[in-house]
Amino acid sequence: MKRVALLIESSNAYGRGLLLGVVAYARAHRPWSFQFVEQGRGDPPPKWLANWDGDGIIARIENRRIAAAIARSGLPTVDISAARLVPSLPWVETNDAAIARLAAEHLIGTGVRHFGFCGDARFNWSKWRCERFVETLREAGFACSVHQPLERKQRQVEEQIAGIARWLRTLPRPAGVLACYDIRAQQVLAASRQAGLAVPGDIAVVGVDNDELLCELCAPPLSSVQPNQQFAGYEAARLLDRMMSGKRVAPTAHLIDPLRVAVRQSSDVLAVHDTDVAAALNFIRQHACERIDVSDVLRAVPVSRRVLENRFRRLLGCTPHREIVRARLERVKQMLIDTNQTLAQIARKTGFEHVEYLSVAFKREVKTLPSRFRANARKALAGS
């Protein structure tokens, strides 16, 4: 039985998801004996590591002391941190560009035209999410204001929130804000209240990690990009298994795509001041899976097709038809993750006449096949 050390914190949803993915791999393939104690991200290496007689390590290498201890061990190791403190190791991380793109597309789809990013300059993943969020918005014709709160000790968190509130007051409204992770998003919500701004009316807020307990404890409940941390843990275990078997694994990045935006009240708003476009969007969201087309939208919103399409392009950057397809595919993704229904059943329930058309549309928009999307989403927990 291989002995594997897990230097992963379990105090947050992302770390727990990684651990579940590792366990799922071991259960599905070969039993491992785990060496695991609660480990904070900034903690020094555990004392037992210096003399530990194990076979491999999976670690979030977040500081130089951990990096040095792992290097001294000489054991096969997979890094699951974005810090990249040991470049010679293979590493598994979230696809931060894909996370930023999902968040940007969601916020653009609400109709807001002013944007902000609230980050944490200590972490690469925050920097990468910021860069791609700003870039995605720029490509769509929008600017983005960026705020990086200075890190304070816990007793000074009120100063952080006050600084965020001052920044939020400078944003044109309504605005859409992506916070680099859910805890920062919780601060943005607190700062919005302090600034007297309504959420989501004045500020629509999205976090990252979809920590369900934290998101539901927020007021209002927090929308969040849901990463696939279980699959990340599963992939890290797969790579380590190869290394412990004597196979070479290149020190390259293995980036895991997010699953979706889990939409809650903090961003569930249509901030479109054109009443016809807002009415059309409402109609599409309510009826997209009923095999509607643009002619059905025009019966609900009595304007000409050319006028509606021009307004959609100007305000949303897409056509009514594209918005119908996008709304259907969001429902498809939800059903692929949350149900065991076949693709044929999902196609019928989401307005696609043929499975083949669903597959083509899904591949074009999501860049992968529905079957692969479902497999990646469930691989860790299913152990397959």
Beta bridge partners of 78: 58
Q: What count of other Cβ atoms lies within 10 Å of the Cβ of residue 180?
A: 27
pLDDT, residue 145, reads 97
Per-residue pLDDT for 192 more than 80? yes
The last residue of one of the domains, among 244, 267, 290, is 267
Starting at the earlier edge strand, list the strands of the sheet with 91-94: 32-36, 2-7, 56-59, 77-79, 91-94, 253-256
pLDDT, residue 223, reads 96
| Domain total of the chain | 3
CATH code of the domain containing 186: 3.40.50.2300
Backbone φ and ψ of 186, nearest 5°: -60, -40
Q: Are residues 109 and 221 in the same domain?
A: yes
Tokens (6 digits) for 9: 């914190």
| Domain finish residue from 216, 241, 267 | 267
| CA–CA distance, 253 with 129 (Å, rounded to integer) | 16
**Model pLDDT for residues 270-294, shown as the tens digit of each residue:** 655 677 887 888 888 889 999 999 9
pLDDT (0 to 100) of residue 23: 93
- What lies within 8 Å, CB to CB, of 155 at 6+ separation is none
The residue segments making up the domain with residue 282 are: 275-382
pLDDT at res. 253: 92
Claim to verify: residue 200 and residue 255 sit in the same structural domain? no
Where among 245, 267, 289 does a domain terminate? 267
pLDDT at 309: 92
Helix/strand number for the chain, H first, E second: 15, 12
- Identify whether residues 90 and 233 lie together within a single domain: yes
The share of the chain scoring above pLDDT 90, in percent, equals 66
Residues 111, 145, single domain; the answer is yes
Q: Do residue 100 and residue 223 come from a single domain?
A: yes
Q: Are 100 and 221 within one domain?
A: yes
| Residue 282: Cβ within 10 Å count | 14
Q: If pLDDT is split at 50, 70 and 90, which confidence band does 380 have?
A: very low
337 and 246 in a common domain: no
Here the CATH number for the domain that contains residue 320 is 1.10.10.60
Q: What pLDDT does 41 receive?
A: 73
Residue of 137, 79, 131, 84 lying closest to 107 (CA atoms): 137
Q: Which distant-in-sequence residues (6+ apart) come within 8 Å of 154 by Cβ? A: none
Same domain, 85 and 119: no
